[in-house]
Amino acid sequence: EPHMTTHEMIEFFDERFGLDAYEMTVLMGVHSAAVAHRENLGFGNIGREDGWVEEAEEYKLSNLYYTSMLERVWELDKFENEGVVPDRYQWYFDEEDEGPIMLTVDMSLILDLEGLVVTDSKGVAGKGMCIAHPE
């Protein structure tokens, strides 16, 4: 589930796979060698193969997934898709939509979003609420 919070993700990996938080975090690192196709799942940028790290299309396993999360300022935004692909919320750091992406479940490794991830007024899951600006 792309919009799980930290606690939901830990519970999911424990119940489904018997993994503890450490093992779950290690497994999530496979995103350093993965790409998303927006046309298929609604995540990524239109017409491009986007990964969770720069040059993800080289499919090299590394620690870039983690360093990318920690070394950049990420913003959450809603991306509208066409056809049967649902609209999605995803995190980005490049305003030109040309860089890597993160999902809420990824950012949950470094942010405790418990109680802050909701479904918006149009039924799209993954909206992040700010305590200072609860809109």
Q: pLDDT (tens digit, 9 = 90+) per residue, 87-113? A: 888 888 876 666 788 888 888 888 888
Residues 121-135 as b/e (b if ≥16 CB within 10 A, e otherwise) read: eeebbbbbeeeeeee
pLDDT tens for each residue of the chain, 135 residues long: 677 888 898 999 999 999 999 999 888 888 777 777 777 777 777 666 667 777 766 777 788 888 888 888 888 888 888 888 888 888 888 766 667 888 888 888 888 888 777 778 888 877 776 554 444
Predicted local confidence at residue 132, as pLDDT: 44
Nearest to 63 by CA among 50, 73, 54, 75: 54
Q: What Rg, from alpha-carbon coordinates, does the chain have?
A: 15
Q: What is the value of pTM for the model shown?
A: 0.77
Q: Is 54 exposed, middle or buried (0-12, 13-18, 19+ CB in 10 A)?
A: exposed
Predicted local confidence at residue 118, as pLDDT: 78
Predicted local confidence at residue 90, as pLDDT: 84
Q: Is 81 exposed, middle or buried (0-12, 13-18, 19+ CB in 10 A)?
A: middle
Length of the chain equals 135
Which DSSP letter does residue 3 get?
A: T
Predicted local confidence at residue 48, as pLDDT: 67
